[in-house]
Chains A and B, each alone.
Chain A
Amino acid sequence: MLSELLMIVVGGLKMGAIYSLTAIGIVVIHKATRTVNFAHGAFVLCGAYVTYGIVEVLQFGWWAAFVLASLAGGLLAAVVELGILRPIRQADSFAVITATIFIGIGISDIYRLLQNTEILAVRSMIRGAPLFIGDAMITREQIAVVGGAMAVALIGVALFAYAKFGRGMRAMASNPRGAVLCGYSSDAMNALAWFVGGAMAGVAGSFAAPSTGVTAELSVAMVTAGFAAAVIGGFDSLRGALLGGLILGVCETLAAGYVSSAMKNAVSFLLIFIILLWRPQGLFPEAKIRHV
């Protein structure tokens, strides 16, 4: 059934776009600071929670929610970097990775204490009649999420590639000593990278909130999906993270539609495993320009 397939794919693209945003945040942080942020899902949760507060509790508009969710995610990430990770960075990656794992759990716990275990529902971004392509029904929400998330993702990638502070982060990612000699402060660049990564996570949370609701489980689910998308794309490639998220989303809905819903949960794990073993550099690795 072609229309059924189309609906499944669109559904997959919707979650995929959210995964892409999350993955881009993880990759930005990793490129700039060489840290894999296992707490990233908690930043997504933060953004989703703020969105709930803006849209449901305060009854403000969605644009306010996007802005405030990204700010919240960014600030939370910057605080984690400056307050906790900077002092332990001299130690090997072991300490930093472990710290991010427990910070992630800790933040989810704070949320659970604030809200208990109920799932908070957030209304859709856009109301209105769905569109039809043949027999396939596509909701406006789906279009809005895919379009919006992709737009934010592309803005993020463009900022990193072309903007002035993007240059500093890329210099730091390419050669930290060279970057320091160009006057870029590694503390400032690290904090900036975490802020940008956290902001992307926050916005991802905004987009995710209507679909998944706000719940502590979001934290683990999103870091897993984000990590899987980043691995699929090739961990240091922003473009790869974007495409990886979309691929992951579509694979999940295909698995749910044609195999079983239990399979859907397993998809991200299986993809991580397969890619790491078969093509560890990812499907879209950045072309490495080697020193002559």
Chain B
Amino acid sequence: MSRTGALRVFAPSLFVFALSIAGLLLGSYWQYVLALSISAAVIGTALAMIVSYARCITIATGAMLAIGAYGAALPVVRLDVPFLVALLFATALGGLAGLILAVPGVRFRSHNLAMVTFVFQAVVIIVLRQSKGLTGGAEGLPIPAPVVFGFRFSSDADFLLLCGFLSALVILPLIVLLEGALGKNLRAVAANESAARAFGINVNRHLIAAFVWSSAVIACAGAIMAPRYRIIDPDSYGILASILALAYPIVGGMGSPWGGLVGGAVLRALPEVLRPLADYLELMFCILVVATIIFFPGGFGSFVTGTFRRKPTKLETSAGPEPRRAVHDFISDMNILGRREVRPPQDRSRSTPILRISGVTKSYGALRAVSHVSFDVTAQTIHGLMGPNGAGKTTLFNIVSGLNASDEGQVLFDGTPLDDVPVESRIKLGMSRTFQHAAVFDKLSCVDNVLIGLGLNDIWQASVRSVHMAMHSQRARAERKAAMAALDAVGLAHRARDGAGSLSLGDQRRLEIARAIVSCPRIILLDEPVSGVSVEEAAGLRELLLRINRELGTGMVVIEHNISFLVSLCNRISVMSDGRIIAEGDPDVVVNDALVRRAYFGEREISA
């Protein structure tokens, strides 16, 4: 495992460097083209982070290249700074530019974000063009060949090797992040933002991080390539460069960094390879991109891997045998990881309320979705919540988990008011949840889904964990073991590497449960955990939830329409109707309550 893991991380860099070595066998012109290809491969990989993983449209690539190019060239030309130092400076400058762009920009999505990047692109070029004194303006800035440790890289072959080596180096940290926790978190955000937030992923910070890392790498690529152009001017880094760069991940493949890498390398070389068609090339490019979007959504890379991907066999798709010791193993694995201590429940009657909902009210305009709802959930119990459609149950859940704010009232978790606790922080307190429409991250594997459930997802943690994953360190191994244990506990260990989107609905609901328990939460909010599954699967899920409650001591609040399921699962049930609690208590008693029956059957007085 460690060997293949290391290969994944180093392969792109090795590929890039190998390209440059291969170029030594070619003529000087092709060495120049290869250098362009390698530079574009770096840009494509960086764009994979923003475009493929975070699914943001950026038209600021040209500006970032310019910032890198001028950011390295000016210190060398005007201040005699050594090339490598200038390169580092330019890379940092690019990162800073990414930050400046992203901080205001990420509050928008989709077309407005694209427009903000367009504004950035245009303004940077205008400023560069106007600062004639500093940059030479539109007349251009001549750049000398790079000098490293006294050696002048002036021939095409020399330059190609330098370019290949430096590009391989700069791609490496990017790949570590992309294949690691940060990349997975970005893809989770793109798959289901609410679920991502519920497990601790701060969306804005992740997007900003994506822009910062990508911009730094793009600027570095611009800085590396600039000396080969001999002279640079702002207009060659204009909007067209940005738009054409956008094509690299889109055509190459949106499923992995290789898509951007190979897409960039191939597309950049095309104009040189197809010289006679030079005039038509840009138009053909556009046609190629639009055709790819229509006929090969996800790019060529996804098309190719999709054709060759092994489809899970019938045997594998049915749920595995009921795990007997699995939950117990899970406890010991989680304790190895040093997570919060897991104890089976003691005496329930002495437990204090883990969740206290007090006077919560939420209105949408004139509609009172939730009206002065109050109830307690005792620690380590399973508390059911039922009611007809429109009763306000999911709204209440969203308030408790933090996706919505209440107008009045308070939610207390283990005595702590949750008013100022954002949704991303609630997982750390010990609250996790599942969603009404199985909100798994469909493009990630099952084990990756569960790893996100650990909740170690703030930006710094995600970056550090990415490095751990790349090095296959003990910590990464322990985390993976915990995730596998959670999967085993729900009976999905045999599907660990499969994409979550390939699971049946029942299995997706199990995966959600695995994701919800892996952090050893004090309480799990389950929203319709058996909706849409067969009677047999519902029975299996019921057994699983009971076992989790018994052996892990995890409390649960369950919304369900399947009333017999709820009655057989819960210790206590609250019934909501029209935003209010109309009954609460022992399941059998509540279900036979006249008020409850009326709410469902509507035995209202309709004839006088």
* A interface residues with partner B (beta carbon < 8 Å): 36, 38, 84, 87-88, 91-95, 97-99, 101-103, 105-106, 109-110, 113, 220, 224, 227, 231, 262, 265-266, 269-270, 272-273, 276-277, 280, 290-292
Please name the 6 residue pairs, one residue from A and one from B, whose CB atoms are nearest each other, closest first.
Answer: A106-B286, A36-B111, A109-B283, A269-B119, A102-B286, A102-B289
Question: Among B177-185, B211-219, B243-251, B570-578, which stretch is in contact with chain A?
Answer: B243-251
Find out whether the CB atom of B111 lies under 8 angstroms from the CB atom of A93.
Answer: yes
Chain A residue contacts of B57, Cβ below 8 A: 94, 97-98, 101
Find out whether the CB atom of A84 lies under 8 angstroms from the CB atom of B294.
Answer: yes
Chain A residue contacts of B110, Cβ below 8 A: 36, 93-94, 97
Question: Among B30-38, B121-129, B452-460, which stretch is in contact with chain A?
Answer: B121-129
Bound CA span A220–B240, Å: 10
Q: Which chain A residue lies CB-closest to B365?
A: A290
Find out whether the CB atom of A110 lies under 8 angstroms from the CB atom of B243.
Answer: no
Q: Given A266-B122, A292-B366, is A99 in contact with B115 using a C-beta cutoff of 8 Å?
A: no
User: Which B118-142 residues sit within 8 Å CB-CB of chain A?
Assistant: 118-119, 122-123, 126, 129-130
Find out whether the CB atom of A227 lies under 8 angstroms from the CB atom of B243.
Answer: no
Bound CA span A280–B115, Å: 13
Q: Which chain B residue lies CB-closest to A227?
A: B115
Find out whether the CB atom of A276 lies under 8 angstroms from the CB atom of B286.
Answer: no
Q: Given A101-B243, A113-B280, is A266 in contact with B126 using a C-beta cutoff of 8 Å?
A: yes
Chain A residue contacts of B130, Cβ below 8 A: 262
Partner of A265, one of B126, B247, B294: B126
Q: How far is the CB of B364 from chain A (nearest CB, A)?
A: 9
Partner of A102, one of B104, B114, B290, B297: B290
Chain B residue contacts of A224, Cβ below 8 A: 118, 122
Bound CA span A95–B104, Å: 24
Partner of B104, one of A87, A97, A266, A277: A277
Q: Which chain A residue lies CB-closest to B240?
A: A105
Q: How far is the CB of B98 from chain A (nearest CB, A)?
A: 16
Chain A residue contacts of B289, Cβ below 8 A: 98-99, 102
Find out whether the CB atom of A88 lies under 8 angstroms from the CB atom of B297.
Answer: yes
Bound CA span A277–B119, Å: 12
Chain B residue contacts of A92, Cβ below 8 A: 55
Does B116 belong to the interface (CB within 8 Å)? yes
Does B408 belong to the interface (CB within 8 Å)? no
Known contacts A87-B294, A94-B55, A269-B118; 7 further A-B pairs (Cβ under 8 A): A93-B110, A98-B246, A98-B293, A105-B240, A224-B118, A224-B122, A277-B104
Q: How far is the CB of B366 from chain A (nearest CB, A)?
A: 5
Bound CA span A69–B366, Å: 49
Does B108 belong to the interface (CB within 8 Å)? yes
Chain B residue contacts of A38, Cβ below 8 A: 114
Bound CA span A277–B106, Å: 11
Chain A residue contacts of B366, Cβ below 8 A: 292
Does B287 belong to the interface (CB within 8 Å)? yes
- Report whether over half of chain B's contact residues are helix, strand or loop; otherwise say mixed: helix
Find out whether the CB atom of B279 lies under 8 angstroms from the CB atom of A113.
Answer: yes
User: Which B365-391 residues sit within 8 Å CB-CB of chain A?
Assistant: 365-367
Find out whether the CB atom of A110 lies under 8 angstroms from the CB atom of B283.
Answer: yes
Find out whether the CB atom of A95 lies under 8 angstroms from the CB atom of B297.
Answer: yes
Q: How far is the CB of B346 from chain A (nearest CB, A)?
A: 49
Find out whether the CB atom of B293 lies under 8 angstroms from the CB atom of A101.
Answer: no
Bound CA span A224–B114, Å: 12
Bound CA span A110–B280, Å: 9
* B interface residues with partner A (beta carbon < 8 Å): 55, 57, 59, 104, 108, 110-112, 114-116, 118-119, 122-123, 126, 129-130, 239-240, 243, 246-247, 250, 279-280, 282-283, 286-287, 289-290, 293-294, 297, 365-367
Find out whether the CB atom of A220 lies under 8 angstroms from the CB atom of B126.
Answer: no
Bound CA span A97–B110, Å: 8
Find out whether the CB atom of A97 lies under 8 angstroms from the CB atom of B365.
Answer: no
Find out whether the CB atom of A292 lies under 8 angstroms from the CB atom of B365.
Answer: yes
Chain A residue contacts of B115, Cβ below 8 A: 227, 231, 272, 276
Chain B residue contacts of A98, Cβ below 8 A: 57, 246, 250, 289, 293
Q: How far is the CB of A35 from chain B (nearest CB, A)?
A: 9
Q: Which chain A residue lies CB-closest to B247?
A: A102
Bound CA span A105–B287, Å: 10
Q: Which chain A residue lies CB-closest to B109?
A: A93
Find out whether the CB atom of B239 lies under 8 angstroms from the CB atom of A220.
Answer: yes
Partner of A95, one of B279, B293, B365: B293
Find out whether the CB atom of A101 lies under 8 angstroms from the CB atom of B280.
Answer: no
Find out whether the CB atom of B111 lies under 8 angstroms from the CB atom of A106.
Answer: no
Chain B residue contacts of A109, Cβ below 8 A: 282-283, 286
- Identify 16 residue pairs between A and B in the complex whose beta-carbon atoms are under 8 Å apart, listed by A's number: A93-B110, A95-B293, A95-B297, A98-B293, A105-B243, A109-B286, A224-B118, A262-B130, A265-B126, A266-B123, A266-B126, A270-B123, A272-B116, A273-B104, A276-B116, A280-B112
Partner of B282, one of A87, A91, A105, A292: A105
Bound CA span A266–B127, Å: 9
Find out whether the CB atom of A276 lies under 8 angstroms from the CB atom of B112.
Answer: yes
Bound CA span A249–B280, Å: 35
Chain A residue contacts of B294, Cβ below 8 A: 84, 87-88, 99
Chain A residue contacts of B279, Cβ below 8 A: 113
Q: Which chain A residue lies CB-closest to B126?
A: A266
Chain A residue contacts of B280, Cβ below 8 A: 113
Chain A residue contacts of B112, Cβ below 8 A: 276, 280
Bound CA span A99–B288, Å: 11
Bound CA span A46–B110, Å: 27
Q: Given A106-B283, A110-B283, A262-B130, is A99 in contact with B293 using a C-beta cutoff of 8 Å?
A: yes
Q: Which chain B residue lies CB-closest to A101?
A: B243
Task: Identify the interface centre among A99, A102, A220, A262: most chain B CB within 10 Å of its CB.
Answer: A102
Q: Given A97-B110, A101-B246, A276-B115, is A262 in contact with B283 using a C-beta cutoff of 8 Å?
A: no
Chain A residue contacts of B365, Cβ below 8 A: 290-292
Bound CA span A101–B240, Å: 11
Bound CA span A87–B295, Å: 9
Bound CA span A277–B108, Å: 10
Find out whether the CB atom of A99 lies under 8 angstroms from the CB atom of B290.
Answer: yes
Bound CA span A290–B279, Å: 53
Q: Which chain B residue lies CB-closest to A271?
A: B119
Q: Which chain A residue lies CB-closest to B288?
A: A102
Find out whether the CB atom of B123 lies under 8 angstroms from the CB atom of A262.
Answer: no
Q: How far is the CB of A196 from chain B (nearest CB, A)?
A: 20
Bound CA span A45–B575, Å: 63
Q: Which chain B residue lies CB-closest to A90?
A: B297
Chain B residue contacts of A94, Cβ below 8 A: 55, 57, 110
Find out whether the CB atom of A103 lies under 8 angstroms from the CB atom of B55.
Answer: no
Bound CA span A264–B582, Å: 65
Chain B residue contacts of A266, Cβ below 8 A: 122-123, 126
Find out whether the CB atom of B108 lies under 8 angstroms from the CB atom of A276.
Answer: yes
Q: How far is the CB of B363 from chain A (nearest CB, A)?
A: 12
Q: How far is the CB of A67 from chain B (nearest CB, A)?
A: 29
Chain B residue contacts of A231, Cβ below 8 A: 115
Chain B residue contacts of A93, Cβ below 8 A: 110-111
Task: Identify the interface centre among B108, B280, B289, B293: most chain A CB within 10 Å of its CB.
Answer: B293
Bound CA span A99–B240, Å: 15
